[in-house]
Homo-oligomer: A and B are copies of this chain.
Amino acid sequence: MKAVCLLSGGLDSATATAVARREGFDCYTLAFDYGQRHRVELAAAERVARSLGSVEHVVMPVNLRKFGNSALTADIAVPKGREQAEMASQIPVTYVPARNTVFLSIALAWAEVLESSDIFIGVNALDYSGYPDCRPEYIAAFETMANLATKAGVEGRTRVRIHTPLMALDKAGIIQLGRTLGVDYSLTHSCYDPDELGRPCGACDSCLLRAKGFAEAGLPDPALTK
């Protein structure tokens, strides 16, 4: 049984991929070079793919910089030191327009080629940064669309499923789950705005959510102590 797993190199997608593996799937991992300023995450994705036994790891270039307009792809400052209530209350400039839709669509293309009907994505609706395309109602609508879009769906041979094993977990819960599955978090990268050496800034939304997760899980962050 094959599954396509979106793997960014961060903590969430590593954990979601580990869940897919535990459920018995052969994992085909997919990362995107979309012009992100934190390209260092692509190296992390490769390390994580290898450590989790990915059958094939593809890095797909999709140059969303051609459209601009996000702090993750254009030259807008990444916000720092935000409170979590602030993160949840509005969509931040780090939101990349339609990113998860683009990523899931390309995952769907690969799944169809592999004759797989299972796609894993590490979105979660609790400790997140206010992005619309992380919510359960969005994922459900994508799944409905995907089943009308594809050959297998139309022929009734199978039903595409978008798996979101982290949807109901907070960051600490994700880390605890990953630990039981043997995820090596020292290999992951979360920061939106690393320095030239790839070291995390410690103050962007992604760094703050990660730090809070490890603190609440009662564990040190192995990426900081190595």
Contact = CB atoms under 8 A, between A and B. Distances in A.
Contact of A64 (B99, B109, B150): B109
A9 B218 CA distance: 58
Most buried by B among A63, A68, A141: A141
Interface residues of A, number: 44
Interface string A78-114: 0000000000000100011111111011101110110
For this chain, the copies found in one complex come to 2
A62 B55 CA distance: 22
A113 B145 contact: no
Interface stretch (A17-25, A131-139, A177-185, A202-210): A131-139
A46 to B, nearest CB: 15
A134 to B, nearest CB: 10
Given A64-B109, A101-B108, A153 B141 contact: no
Most buried by B among A101, A110, A113: A101
A149 B138 contact: yes
B146 A101 contact: yes
Contacts of A150: 97-98, 132-133
B109 A133 contact: no
A105 B146 CA distance: 12
Given A151-B132, A154-B91, A67 B138 contact: no
Interface of A: 58, 60-64, 66-69, 91, 95-102, 104-106, 108-110, 112-113, 132-133, 135, 137-138, 141-142, 144-146, 148-151, 153-155
